[in-house]
Each structure stands twice: as structure tokens, then as C-alpha cells.
Structure 1
Amino acid sequence: MKYISSKKKPLPSKVLVSAFSLATGALVSSPSFADDENRVILDTIVLNADANQEPSYYIKSSKNSKITTPLLDAPRSIHIISKQEIDERGSSALQDVLRTTPGITLGSGEGGTPMGDRPFIRGYEASTDILIDGVRDYARGSHDIFNLEAVEISKGPGSVYSGRGSTGGTINLITKKPKDKNESEITTEYQNSGTGQAKYRFTTDNNVLLTENIAFRLNAMLDQGDVARRDQVEVDRWGVSPSITFGLNTPTRLTAGYSYLDFSDTPDMGVPFSNAKNPNRKKPIESMPFNTNFGRPDIDFRNYNSEIFHLNLEHDFNENLKVKFAAKDLKTTQDYFFTRLSFGCAASSGNACATEGAGLSYERNDRSSYRTSHVNNGQLDLQAKFNTGLIKHNVITGIDYSKERIGTKDMTVTGAGKEVVDFYNPTNSRHPNFNIQYGPEKKAGEITNTGLYVFDTISLNNKLDVNLGLRFDDFESTNFKDTVSESMFNYQAGIVYKLAPFGRIYTNYATSSNPSGDNLGQAGGADGVASGNRLGDNIGPEKTRSIEIGTKWEFFNEQLAFNAALFETKKTNARSTDAEGIVAIDGKNRVRGGEMSVSGKINPSWDISAGYTYLDSKLLDGGFVKQADQYIENPDNGNQLKFIAKHSANIWTTYAMNSKLRLGAGATYVGKRFVDDSNDYYLPQHIRYDAFASYQLLPEFGLQFNINNISNERIYDASHVGVFSTVAPGRSFALKGTYRF
């Protein structure tokens, strides 16, 4: 048994990272010819630096080994958010990045549904479809950006790429790797809300070329302080990630790395939302100040840590034949206690519960969880380029294996419990006797999967490419009481027609499968039979297919990308309850929509990243629901799917006024989102404005200033089916200094 006397983990008082720079020189000589009669005319060699070596919002190729073509020639929507854009916007966590990305909305955890990053892509949840360098992070945890090079968002069903799930898409976090140069970067940031909340963040990124073929890289982060405009809501985080590569710039390369991330935060569940006694109020009540903390910050806590060991071995037999092996061991622990907020309409409220006037009270209830996850993954890829007559092939074939284990501990909480509190005077009484005792860790479930796949990009001629992919998965999930085993085939077929040297039109058809138990231990009961935990129902996997047509163009010397797409994603056999009350896969839902995006440089001084997404979601057939003593046809049929914004858009643009000064600004719009299946309650639309300025004081040192959420818009990130709504940070001012050497 374990006793908690403090909700905070001790953190190092100082993070000391040192780096050593090595200097190299190069001698360039060229012959001269004095004898004109014997002059030799050589072919002109023109060297063009790769545009991607310069900071840019437009990244031209994916780090996913299964996508072998440039993004221009990939027959699907892939949105890559670059390190430059992440840094300029002042993001520190994955949620910051996703919050300003069109087509993605956020969900909330609550008890059985763990806290952590919970994105919805094109209308479908993707919390267990977050990958780290192509390996599934099954923890439903949280992710910092200190060790990220980019965030790749692949939209539409993608089981052929990543295995089960991936109904709306996948998020692949690309981590920093050693490179062939000596450079270091240290940043120190101070953030202040203007109302008393302050936060400090320190990062360092050091790359050292030890020899011509060996490089070492070390990243570290410390982030501590208050969330802007939220009283007594704190973050306390640190992380470190060393890695080393042997054989750099040789045919055989071996990279080994380690990463540790630790969160020790005071969480905030926002505001109590729906009120059965006042059903006419459909959105969150806003009669209290933005910064009000309705929870119990003296006892609310969330401790999360992740630890990753990874190994990558690559060998190039020649430019047409390559092999790659990757192995990863990922462990996470999530331990939290937070206050669940709700309008319980306590007797003490009297008529105020209906009028929501003076005397209105709300309830504070306990929610706690202790979960562990442990993922082992291995993947072997073989890439081959060859011709069959006049037809060119670029083939990737491989096998991957993963084993995901979920653990839990029972938590016995004393010194806290249900509290009825005055909504307009939410005093926080102390809880001196609060403590938690933990039981021994228990195995809660296990998922194993073996996948076989093959992809072929077939160039029929200079104008037409065909992209084919097929994957077989041998899947098994068990909670040690019930077991589900499935054999699943998924595929995609895409056609790319090259209208011009830098213009394409494409069409794509892709599928995905969601077997029962695919998110075992990472979903609660709020979604009812739709939950992927349904091991004991003896039903097959949900299946989804998507049709997409689109066009992609590059402009301004290939520095600016424009993409547009129309799509329909349809789940043809969603989990539902039949007329006899038996769980079946007879339900149907779909999302139709379109999107446009532009990313890159309009000219060498002007960068832009902008996008718009339209999502028309609908529950086509929700099966039957129990009413009184009988099952009736689901009255929610025809409604929008919850948590999804029909309209969302963003723009972020910066301009270099001269060699030292850069200015920028942006706006993010998210439309109304329903938070329940009946479409009664919703989160209102919002627009967030941000601004940016940077000045390079010295060649080695620069300053950056950000104002986020300039208008101090009250933004609701998510809601737990209308019970409570989480609130995004308010206006903040941040000053960051960056020293590079």
C-alpha cells in the first residue's frame, strides 16, 4: 500500500545542460587552364540548396516510411506543422498545436476516460491514433513539443498505414535526431497573463558531431508556473532526450535514443455546464469571471510520465534497395485525482437551481485513476525501386509487431468527497486529511498485433501515378476475462494525375477497421456501446471507408503549397443496440466535407500557413435505445456527431521587415460544437487572435515576443458530454530569448 502526503513530485531545482562545439574547415581549389587551344569545356554544374534546409512552413516530404513520394504526389491530405511555425506561435504542448489546426477539435477525459490529449480528426476520435516516429503511443497521455521536429497529420482512414483504428486520421510526432553539424540552441521564456499568473520555460537543443560519422544530440526542457488567466491552475514539467547516431552519411546507420517526460500539474476541469432544472440554457454559464477555479486546487493533481527507448538501424544496399529496422519500448504512468464539476441541483439551491440566480449551487465530486501502459514495438521495412518494362515501381513492404499492456491500481481516497458549493462564491475549504492509498498494480488488459503490408507507387508514365496499399492485421485484445481475435484486411487505392510540373489532381479510396478492444482501458462509459472496450459482446470490427478527391499545387518557385480536397468518410457498421437490446454492428454514421490549405513562402520575406475545413457530420442510424420497458428507434438519428465543429479556419503569417525584425499575426476560428448525442447542449463558436514579433539583436542572440489570445476570448476546449466544460488559457504575454552557437 502506498500513502500520498503531497500531490507534487519533487523536480530538479536546476537543469544544467552543457554542449561542446567542434570546428571543421574545408579547402576548395579549382584548376585553371591557360592554354586556350587545349581548353576543356566542362558541363555546367548548378548547385541548388534544398529549400527545406531553410526554415519554412512547407515541408515537402513525410517522415512516414510508408509514404515514399513527396507530399505533392501523395493521393491524400497530409498536413505537416513545421518546427518554425510551432516555435513562432509559442506552442509548448501538442494541445497548443492542435488547438489552432482546422479540422481538429478536442475532447475531455473524465474518470473512466483518461485525461490527456484527446483529438478528433475529421469527426472521429484519434486519441489512440497518436504515433511517435510511427509507433503508437497507447497511453492517452500528454505530449510536449521540446523534442519535436514536426507534427504530421494524415487525414482520412489510415489502417493500411498504422493498423487498427485511424478512422479520421493519425497524428505522427516526429522527434529530433542527430545531424551532421555542430549547433546548439538555448531558450529561456517568461510568460505573464497581466493578472498575476506567470510561467517560466527553459529548453536546450545541442547537436555535436563527435567524428565525421558519429553525432550526439541532447534536448531538455523545464516548464513551471501558472496557466494564463486561470486561478491556481499550474504546470510543472520537465523532460530530457539524448540520442546518438553511428554511421552518419554512410550506407549503414544506427541511432539509439532515450526520452523521459514528467508532468506534475494541477488540473482544471473548467466550469459546470448542463443544468436539468434550467434546460433553456444550452451553452456554458458565463456569469462568473473567466479566471474562476471551481475545483479544489489544494488536492487536485495529475502526475504523468513517459519513458521511451528506441533503436533504428538503416542500410542502403544502393539507391534502389534499402532496409530499415526500428524497435521501441514505451512506458507511461498516469496518476490523477481531480474534481468533477456538475450542477447537481442540490436541495440547498431551492428555486435558484432553475433561475440560476443568487443561491445557485453546484457539486464537487471525486474522480481518480491510476493507469500504466507498456508498449513494445518492432518494425522491419524493405524499400525497392525497379522497372517492369516502361513502368516504374517504388515498393515498400514490411512486417510490424506490437504488444500493449495496460495496468491499474485501486485508489482509496479519504479526506475528500462530494461537496455542495455556492456557484457565485466558490470558496475552497482546506482538506488537511486528504490522502490516497494505492493497491498493488494489476494487469487490466493486453493487446497484441502483427501486421503485414505492401505499398507500391506505380508510375505508368510521366503524367499518371497509381498508389496501392494493402495490409493484413492479426489482432487480439483481452481483459483476462474476455478475448477478441480478429483477422483484418485494409487497403487504399489512389490515382495521381500530373496536370503540370507542379500541379496534381488525385482521387483516393481507403478503409479502416476498429475491432472490439482496440482502445481497451483507454475509454469510459460515456459513449455507451460505441466504446471500443466491448470485449464481451462477440461482435466484429467496425469498418470505415473514405473517398477523397483533391488537387495540390506548388507556387513561387516551389516554395508555397496549395491543397484542396472533398471527401466522405462513412462508418458502415458502427456499434449500436438492436431492437432486442443486443449490441450489434448495425449502426451507420458519416462525415462529408471539404478543406483548403496554403503553406510556405509567398516570397523570401513572407511566410503563411492558412486553412479552412468544413465537416458535415451525421448519425445515420444509431440503432435502438431503451425507453421505459421497450427499445425504440434512436431519436438522435439525423443529428450531428458530438464534439465536431462544422466550420473551422486558421491563418498565421509573418513578414521579415529587414534582416533583424520579423512581425506576424494570426487568427483561429472554431464553430459551434454539440457536446451530446441529442444536440441539446453546445460550446459556442470562438475566434482567437495572436501576434508575434522577433528581433535578432546579435548573430547569436534573438528575442521573440508573443501575445496569445489577444482579446482574452473565453474558449472552451472540450466538454465531457455536457457535464462540465474545460477552459483554454486566456490572454498571455511571452518574452523568449534564444541563444544559438
Structure 2
Amino acid sequence: MLSIRIVRPRRFLLASAALTSFVAADMPAALAQQVRDTLPPVEVSPAEARKQTRPAGREAQRARRASSRRSAGTAAAPKPAVPGPSVHTQATTPLNSNAVATSASRLGLTVRETPATVEVISAETMREQGYRTVSEVAQGAVGVTSGDNPGEPAAFSMRGFTNSQINTLYNGIKIGPQNMTSRITDTANLEAVEFLKGPASLMSGEGAAGGAINFVTKAPHTGPIRNEADFSWDSLNSFRAHYGSGGSTNVQGLDYRFDVSRSSLNGFADDTNTKTLDVSGQLNYRISDSLKIWGAIEYREDRSKAYWGAPLVPVAFSGSHATSGIVSGNYVSNYNGTNLGAVTIDDRTFNTNYNVLDNRNVAQEVWLRGGFELKLAPDLTLKSQAYGYGAERTWFNNEVEAFNSGTNLVDRERFYVAHSQRLVGNITDLIWDANIAGLDNRLVTTLSSSYLDFVRPGAANFPGDSVSLVNPNRGFYGLLTTQQQTARIDNEALSFEDRLKLTRSFALVGGLRVEHIGLDRNSTDKNGLEKAGFPYSKDWAPVTGRIGYTWEAVPGLTFYSQYATGADVAANNIFLLLPTQPLDLTTARTYETGVKHLFWDNRAEWSFSAYDILRKNVYAAAGGMLLNIAGRQESKGVELAASVRPIEPLRLWGSIAYVDARYVDYNFVGGSFSGNTPPNVPRIVANAGASWRFFTPWPVELGITGRHVGDRYNTDANVVTMKAYTVADVYAFVDIPKTVFNAVEQARLTFRVRNITDKRYAIWGDPFYPDQILLGAPRTYELSAAFKW
């Protein structure tokens, strides 16, 4: 049974590789060991740089006509465009709803044409708002929160769901559970970040109960070569640098894109930082009007000295050093069992690092991707991409920081784990544009397959000690003994997505996905002997889908509704389950309705959505690397976003999201968490901003952004509250005329103050480590410069 499961997907992948002429039949292990991240599922259409050059000839005329129709909000566009890397470069609207999010639909629909809540944050927005990492991007999205807890970097919360209940995609490709595979990622090499809300297994497969977040790498465009360079430095002595170049080469039909970025982001806690390196490149080659091929490679690494949070401390112990407004509640230590009573964060620990001196948190990743787009007939297009990914990750830290009220010391415990991951796969689309009884119809049939090999050496012993709360002796890791776990997962899926325009303004959009997931696990002890119950195998065959409509009642005003389903493997981390624990399939469904409105000559836009999500058979973190079966999880809420430019110098934008998320039938021996809120889920998240541009010879823009996040809990028990907080950033930039630097067409200098009020707040809590809380960064100052030529 085991050999059959492994061989079958490899045969499929071998055929895919022959089809794409890109991935070798048997990728060498040495190459697979370094494989890395990004790009959309399959496309190769040349990407225009945002507000840059235009394509030539009849294709350019068609693109401009289609773009102008979409910008005007009319229903005149006869067919959606075949999605490609250029999807994020169309004429923008205040909420960027002209963008085509490939993670939300394979039909080439814009955000306004998709019957779901979709948000696309472009590279230009990331630059203007100073988003340095994908976690900061998420904090600027509607109703999304994030935290970089080192055990699960780049963790997200959206619509009442967190971590692996949200699929993290790299150019539309899932590499594994978010809580095991995601890393702190710099935004410099990204063209956009897409947020698809609600169950979305139709698009990204198993795991998308709360939605999907897709990171899209910068891709080539057709036209003159454009270069860009960016530099920044802040008051924590952090720096970032990026260089990018792309355009058409001297070879007819060959376009390229290359980016390299380097950053060193210092933390506010002592001896903490994250260093990243990202190198990405892609070639697009238009062989003929009907055939395009492409290839991409990317290498990324990050190296951190990690901050694991500040310990919860009894108010009675902290005395005058106790803080208010960060946490509240009464707590019994999950680690040592002592009763802390009312807890606080001691102000003497704001900058304290309890990690060992020889700690490290390292990852190296490599991606290889390539494919083609072939027009078989005027209304029939075949697209395919093959990909290979490899990653090596290591955690070597003291991870537990638990105050002991019996000794008044901080109990610590070490943990080590490493990943060696290999992934190969293929995604093939057949796009058919047809006319059914006089009605425009587009059907996309997708066949995908992947094979994942995951080796996880981990600690077999857990050294520990106790240190003082203030000025702790950090020491070193000590003796390490390891054991090993492995997992092999194969996945094959067949999906269909269709859009039928019943009238010029009313369309039905739906799809169905049939998927097979096979899992083989093994676990050995420190002597290499298999543990009881191992190895074992499990299979699932979820069927998920979406059905909805869009109705453009008047030009620019679109109503929509949808019913969608999702499925995921119940456990947040498949390696934490004992073989005797049930590993079942979790199902999710959502009802959603809303409206999207673009008006006032494209100067104003707003959107509203209401949803009801139910997820059944849920596993939840119980602390101490344990999992509980939580029964059901319900989530209901509304989201509102708007942006307007009432006069040319002034821009206003804002959003508010409300969610009521709770567990149902969450009972266990000794108690019940039914009615409790999942960890890291605020009831209210609001963002707002304003900017004013002075049209002087050297144009200057001043801006302010604010963010409010409501109360949250750090565990399912809901006994410790991470208090609501409001923070604000201000910025000013000046655009320097071309005449100053001569060869540089655009130059911008920016000064930014983050967290201008120096607010101290809790940004995230790791439910596996409930004795400690991650704090948000204090006030920092930043200078940056950007050049384009």
C-alpha cells in the first residue's frame, strides 16, 4: 500500500514534467534540498509594470479597451481575461478591485466580478504604507491580524480562524500547513498579497477553512527595461536594501525579471534580530502568438535570534512594576502548575530576552517553477506549470518562559526541531470560452498533483532551568538528544470552475473540486526504533466547491452571494498526534452575501460583506504541545471597507470588521470550553488613514494611519485577556524631480514614525506556550529612499 501511494503520484508528475519540458523526471536530491518560494499558478502573459509601458499592437488595444470598461464599472467586458502574471497591473481603483486575484478564481475574474470577499494589496501600497514583512501587510488588510511568534512565524487570524485554518500560498501553490512551513518574509520581491476570505478549498485545496493568503512574486513585463532600488534604516539599527530589474530583452519575445533583497530587522528585545535574503528571477518567452513558455527560480533564507515573549507575572510580585492595559485575568501556570493569581506584564521585562545565547532559528528555501500557455483554438487554451520546492528549517531555542509563584523564578525549557522538506507537483488548466444558447460561458478544468516528503528530526530530551525575572542568566542550550518523525503526503485533485453570464449584468459562478489525500507517517525514538503504533497510513477524499452569483445592478454597483465549502485535516500539526488519536477530516461551510461599489468617476469605492461560517470536528491547541478535540467552531460577522479621493490632494480610507467566533460542543474530561472564543481572535478590527499631497515643485505627501484591535485571548480557556490596543503611524515623503538626479526618473525620500504614541500592547499569544505573551514593537523612526530609472 505504501509503495503504491508513492509511485502513483510520481508517474503523474513524470508525465507532467514531460508535458512542460521543465521538471526532470527524477529531481536530484541535492537540488531538491534547496528549493524555494513564489509565483502564480500557471500564467505567462507578459506583465505590464504598474502605470508603466503598454503592450503593442492589437493586443494592447484590446487590453486598453477592456481595462477602461472595467475601470468604468460597466458590464460591457464580454469575457474575463485568461489570468496571468499581469493581473495585478491593471488600472487601479481606490480599493484595487480591478486586480485579478488568481488565488480567488482561475476564471480570470477581477475582484469585483468574484462572488467572494477578496482583497489585493499591491506592491505600490506596500511601499507607501511601509509594509516590510508579510505580517505587516496582513495588519493593513480588512479584519486580518498577524503575529510572528517564532514557533509559527507569519501566523494570521481572519474571520475567526487562525494559523493552519488559513492556507498560505506562494504564487497559488500550497507547500504544507502554515504553522509548520511559513516564515518571516520580506515584501521587496512581491508584486502583491491576495486575501481570499472564508472556506476556499475549491481554489487551494485542503486547509482553507478560514480563507487563503497568496504571496505573488514580481514577474516580467513587456516593454522597456525598468530598474528600481530601495533602501531604509530605522532607529533600532535595522536596514533593508532591494534591487529589481525587468523588461524586454534584445531577443524578440523574451522578457525577464530579476530581484534581490537583503534585510536585517532588529527587535526591540535584547539580542534579537531577523536577517533575510531573497533572490528571484523569471523568464517569459513568447515563441508565437499561440505559445508562451516561462521559467522561474527563487532562493530565500532567513536567520533569526528569536524573541519568545514576556512571561505572565503575578501582580502581587511585580508591585510598582505591574503594567495595565496589556493583559488581565487570573492564571494558573500551564507549565509548572503554580497559581499566579491576577497577572500582568512586568515593565522590567519589556526588553528582556530569555532565550539561550546559542539560539538559532534558520530556514533556507528554493523554488523551481516553469510552464507554458498554449492556445489550441481561438476559444481553447491549455496552461501547465510544474514546480519543485525544497526547504531546510531549524529551531534551536529556549521556548518556555513560565513564572513560578513558588520560587519567584522563571522556569525555562529548551526545544529543538528541524525540517527537511521536498515537494514536487504540477497544475494544468484547460480554459474553454464558449457560447451556450447565446450566453457567454467560461469553463476551467484543472488537474493537479503533488508529492510531499517531510522529515522532522526533533528533541528527545528537553533541558530546563530556572532564572531570575530581571537580568536572567541566559546560559546555553545544553545536551541535545534527538528522535525522528517522517510524513509522506500525496495529493491529486480534479476541479471545475465555471462562469455563465445569463445577462450582461448577471452571472452564475461555481465550481467543484474532487481531491485525494494520502498520508504515511512514521516515528522512531532516540535509538532509531519505531514507536508503538507506527508506521501508519490514512486516506481522505474530500469534495468541496462554491456556487454563487454576481449582479451588476447599475454600472459599478455589484451585488453577490455565495455558498462555499472547505475541508482540512483536523489536526493543526500532524506530528503532534499520537497514532491512537483520531485524525479525521474537518469540514467547513460558509454563507456570504455582500456588495461592491465603484462610483464618482472611479474616485470612490466601498464594499460590504456578511458571512456565517461553520467548521466541524476541530482540533485545538491545549498547551504543552497537546491537542484537544473541540467539536465545532462557529463564526459570524460583517466587514466594511471604503476609500475616497474627494479632492485631488486628499485621500481617505478605512475599514471595520466585526466577528463573533466561538466553540460549540467543546467538552473534555474535567471541563468544557463551549462558548469560548478561539485564541488570537479579536471581535473588532478597524483601520483608517488619510493623506494630503502638496503639489509643489518637489511634491510632498503627509499621511497618518491608525489601527484598532479588540480584546483577544491567548488560549481556548479564555482566562487571560490580551487587551485591546490602538496604534498609529505617520509618514511624510517627498518626490524629487528627475532634473535633480538626471538619470533617475523617480526618486522618493520618506520619513516614517511607527507607533507614534509608543503604545505598549500584546500583539499575539501562542496557545502552545500560554505562560508568555508576545509584545508589539515600541515607537521607532525610519528613513527610506526609493529610485526608479
Percent identity for Structure 1 against Structure 2: 17
Partner residue of 1:704 out of 720, 726, 750: 750
CA distance in 2, matches of 1:670, 1:606: 26
Instruction: Name whichever of 163-172 and 403-412 sits farther off.
Output: 403-412
Does the Cα contact within 8 Å between 1:639 and 1:677 map onto a contact in 2? yes
**Residues 422-461 of structure 1: matches in 2 within 5 Å?**
422-423=468-469, 425-431=470-476, 444-461=486-503
**Residues 640-659 of structure 1: matches in 2 within 5 Å?**
640-658=677-695
One-letter code aligned to 2:191? E
Q: Which residue of 2 aligns with 1:95?
A: 135
Q: Is 2:202 the partner of 1:156?
A: no
Q: Is 2:695 the partner of 1:695?
A: no
Partner residue of 2:101 out of 57, 63, 79: 63
Cα offset, 1:370, TM superposition: 0.9
One-letter code aligned to 1:184? N
SS in 2 for 1:87: helix
Q: C-alpha offsets along residues 389-439 of structure 1, whole Å, 9 cap, x if unaligned?
A: 1322111111111112211224588xx94232222x2234554xx567686
Q: Is 2:547 the partner of 1:493?
A: yes
CA distance in 2, matches of 1:47, 1:121: 33
Does the Cα contact within 8 Å between 1:341 and 1:362 map onto a contact in 2? no
Cα offset, 1:289, TM superposition: 5.6
Does the Cα contact within 8 Å between 1:471 and 1:489 map onto a contact in 2? yes
Q: Which residue of 1 aligns with 2:410?
A: 362
Q: Which residue of 2 aligns with 1:19?
A: none
**Residues 322-337 of structure 1: matches in 2 within 5 Å?**
322-337=381-396
SS in 2 for 1:288: helix
Q: Which residue of 1 aligns with 2:77?
A: none
Cα offset, 1:312, TM superposition: 2.8
One-letter code aligned to 1:348? T
One-letter code aligned to 1:219? D
Partner residue of 1:682 out of 711, 721, 733: 721
SS in 2 for 1:315: strand
Q: C-alpha offsets along residues 498-557 of structure 1, whole Å, 9 cap, x if unaligned?
A: 211111111110111123568534xx5xxxxxxxx5765456411111000111111232
Cα offset, 1:232, TM superposition: 1.8
Distance 1:436 1:500, change over 3 A: farther
Partner residue of 1:303 out of 332, 337, 362: 362
Q: Which residue of 1 aligns with 2:234?
A: 191
Does the Cα contact within 8 Å between 1:126 and 1:170 map onto a contact in 2? no
Distance 1:307 1:599, change over 3 A: farther
Q: Which residue of 1 aligns with 2:85?
A: none
CA distance in 2, matches of 1:108, 1:664: 26
CA distance in 2, matches of 1:585, 1:235: 35
CA distance in 1, matches of 2:756, 2:288: 46
Does the Cα contact within 8 Å between 1:689 and 1:710 map onto a contact in 2? yes
Does the Cα contact within 8 Å between 1:540 and 1:585 map onto a contact in 2? no
CA distance in 2, matches of 1:53, 1:491: 28
CA distance in 2, matches of 1:417, 1:430: 12
Q: Which residue of 2 aligns with 1:595?
A: 639
Does the Cα contact within 8 Å between 1:200 and 1:225 map onto a contact in 2? yes
One-letter code aligned to 1:679? N
CA distance in 2, matches of 1:687, 1:84: 25
Cα offset, 1:688, TM superposition: 1.3
Partner residue of 2:451 out of 391, 403, 406: 403
Instruction: Name whichever of 115-124 and 201-210 sits farther off.
Output: 115-124
Cα offset, 1:152, TM superposition: 0.4
Q: Is 2:319 the partner of 1:259?
A: no
Structure with greater helix share of residues = 2
One-letter code aligned to 2:590? S
Q: Is 2:561 the partner of 1:507?
A: yes
Q: Which residue of 1 aligns with 2:162?
A: 125
**Residues 463-612 of structure 1: matches in 2 within 5 Å?**
463-480=505-522, 481-516=535-570, 519-521=573-575, 524=576, 533=577, 536-538=580-582, 540-574=584-618, 587-599=631-643, 605-612=649-656
Q: Which residue of 1 aligns with 2:83?
A: none
CA distance in 1, matches of 2:405, 2:121: 47
Max Rg structure: 1
CA distance in 2, matches of 1:268, 1:335: 15
Does the Cα contact within 8 Å between 2:704 and 2:731 map onto a contact in 1? yes
**Residues 45-56 of structure 1: matches in 2 within 5 Å?**
53=90
Partner residue of 1:202 out of 241, 247, 258: 241
One-letter code aligned to 2:169? L
Distance 1:404 1:556, change over 3 A: farther
Unpaired runs of at least 5, structure 2: 1-51, 57-63, 72-88, 314-330, 333-337, 523-534, 622-626, 739-743
**Residues 332-347 of structure 1: matches in 2 within 5 Å?**
332-345=391-404, 347=406
Cα offset, 1:694, TM superposition: 1.3
CA distance in 2, matches of 1:307, 1:448: 20
Q: Is 2:371 the partner of 1:312?
A: yes
Distance 1:157 1:661, change over 3 A: same
Distance 1:586 1:707, change over 3 A: closer
CA RMSD of aligned residues (A): 3.0
Q: Which residue of 2 aligns with 1:626?
A: 669
Does the Cα contact within 8 Å between 2:97 and 2:112 map onto a contact in 1? no
CA distance in 2, matches of 1:86, 1:692: 13
One-letter code aligned to 2:635? V
Unpaired runs of at least 5, structure 1: 1-23, 29-44, 350-360, 525-532, 578-582, 628-633
**Residues 219-230 of structure 1: matches in 2 within 5 Å?**
219-227=259-267, 229-230=268-269
| Number of aligned residues | 652
CA distance in 2, matches of 1:450, 1:608: 46
Distance 1:402 1:715, change over 3 A: farther
Does the Cα contact within 8 Å between 1:545 and 1:570 map onto a contact in 2? yes
Q: Which residue of 2 aligns with 1:41?
A: none
Cα offset, 1:126, TM superposition: 4.1
CA distance in 2, matches of 1:604, 1:316: 43
Does the Cα contact within 8 Å between 1:108 and 1:719 map onto a contact in 2? no
Q: Which residue of 2 aligns with 1:39?
A: none
Cα offset, 1:264, TM superposition: 1.1
**Residues 264-279 of structure 1: matches in 2 within 5 Å?**
264-273=303-312, 275-276=331-332, 277=338, 279=340
CA distance in 2, matches of 1:605, 1:340: 49
Cα offset, 1:68, TM superposition: 2.7
One-letter code aligned to 1:70? T
Distance 1:380 1:680, change over 3 A: same
CA distance in 2, matches of 1:151, 1:347: 48
Does the Cα contact within 8 Å between 2:592 and 2:609 map onto a contact in 1? yes
Cα offset, 1:185, TM superposition: 0.4
Q: Which residue of 1 aligns with 2:527?
A: none
Normalization by structure 1: what TM-score? Answer: 0.82
Q: Which residue of 2 aligns with 1:80?
A: 120
Q: Which residue of 1 aligns with 2:674?
A: 637
CA distance in 1, matches of 2:393, 2:53: 49
Cα offset, 1:607, TM superposition: 4.1
One-letter code aligned to 1:172? N
SS in 2 for 1:343: strand
CA distance in 2, matches of 1:136, 1:602: 41
Cα offset, 1:309, TM superposition: 0.8
Does the Cα contact within 8 Å between 2:707 and 2:728 map onto a contact in 1? yes
SS in 2 for 1:62: coil
Partner residue of 1:288 out of 348, 355, 361: 348
Distance 1:436 1:691, change over 3 A: farther
Q: Is 2:173 the partner of 1:135?
A: yes
Does the Cα contact within 8 Å between 1:383 and 1:395 map onto a contact in 2? yes
Instruction: Name whichever of 49-58 and 704-713 sits farther off.
Output: 49-58
CA distance in 1, matches of 2:282, 2:513: 31
Distance 1:53 1:590, change over 3 A: closer
Q: Which residue of 2 aligns with 1:529?
A: none
Cα offset, 1:635, TM superposition: 2.3
CA distance in 1, matches of 2:117, 2:147: 23
Does the Cα contact within 8 Å between 2:570 and 2:618 map onto a contact in 1? no
